């Protein structure tokens, strides 16, 4: 059977439910793909998400630990954050890396663009590999109480495999970087840092 890629939903009405600087929630009265009446709620992100896998000269990844309010649990992640739409995502990623870790990087490579929880939100994440790291002073926001861990890339990847890292951006990015290294899609010096 041929694949159908058009929109099978019919939107009858749309009403705003809630808005703040980070999100806008709307509810649509719809006809489902089978033509039945229903509702569909969507959370529109006001910003883009970014994630960075920073690899230092010893092949270590900097992980950021913080309590995640919606989950009510502690989470280990790569440096992540938001950036304004219309701003180059790598610039937002540079800012987040500096704020959360105090690090700057001489080399940046886009590795992944992903849609987060695409059944309820249009949030998009732009992710990068960064190397040639220089360490400075972190400048976290007032809402961030952060811990930093510098672990070999193999240990960060093992944390994903053991289920100790569950954040979607971190899981996807760490797996993507390992695949890129195994497939020969990274500079040789970076591949050596990642694979040992």
Question: How far apart, in whole angstroms, are the C-alpha atoms of residue 177 and residue 108?
Answer: 13
- Give 121's DSSP letter: B
Three-state DSSP at 147 gives strand
> Residue range 163-190: average pLDDT?
97
* pLDDT of residue 129 exceeding 70: yes
Contact 69, 93 (CB under 8 A): no
> Residue range 25-45: average pLDDT?
96
Confidence of residue 144 (pLDDT cuts 50, 70, 90): confident
- Give the Cβ contact number of residue 60 at 10 Å: 18
What pLDDT shows up at residue 20? 96
* pLDDT of residue 95 exceeding 90: yes
Is the sign of the CA dihedral 44, 80, 116, 186 positive or negative?
A: positive
Percentage of residues of the chain with pLDDT beyond 70: 98
> Residue range 150-167: average pLDDT?
98
Confidence of residue 2 (pLDDT cuts 50, 70, 90): low
What pLDDT shows up at residue 5? 84
Tokens of 37: 């009446």
Question: How far apart, in whole angstroms, are the C-alpha atoms of residue 14 and residue 157?
Answer: 43
CA-based nearest residue to 110, from 86, 98, 94: 94
Q: What is the pTM of this model?
A: 0.92
CA-based nearest residue to 192, from 177, 183, 181: 181
Average pLDDT, whole number, for the chain? 95
Confidence of residue 1 (pLDDT cuts 50, 70, 90): low
């Amino acid at each position: 059977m041929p694949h159908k890629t058009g929109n099978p939903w019919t939107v009858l009405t749309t009403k705003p439910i809630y808005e703040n600087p980070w999100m806008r929630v709307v509810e649509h009265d719809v006809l489902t793909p089978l033509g039945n009446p229903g509702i569909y709620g969507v959370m529109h992100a006001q910003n883009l998400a970014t994630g960075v896998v920073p690899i230092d000269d010893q092949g270590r990844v900097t992980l950021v630990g913080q309590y995640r309010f919606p989950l009510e649990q502690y989470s280990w992640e790569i440096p992540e954050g938001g950036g304004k739409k219309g701003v180059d995502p790598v610039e937002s990623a540079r800012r987040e890396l500096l704020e959360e870790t105090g690090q700057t990087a001489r080399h940046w490579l886009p590795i992944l663009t992903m849609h987060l929880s695409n059944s309820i939100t249009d949030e998009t994440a732009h992710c990068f590999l960064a190397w040639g790291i220089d360490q400075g002073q972190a400048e976290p926001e007032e809402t961030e109480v952060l811990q930093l861990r510098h672990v070999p890339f193999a240990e960060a990847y093992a944390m994903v495999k053991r289920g100790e890292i569950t954040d979607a951006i971190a899981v996807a990015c760490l797996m993507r970087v390992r695949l890129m290294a195994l497939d020969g899609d990274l500079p040789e010096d970076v591949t050596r840092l990642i694979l040992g």
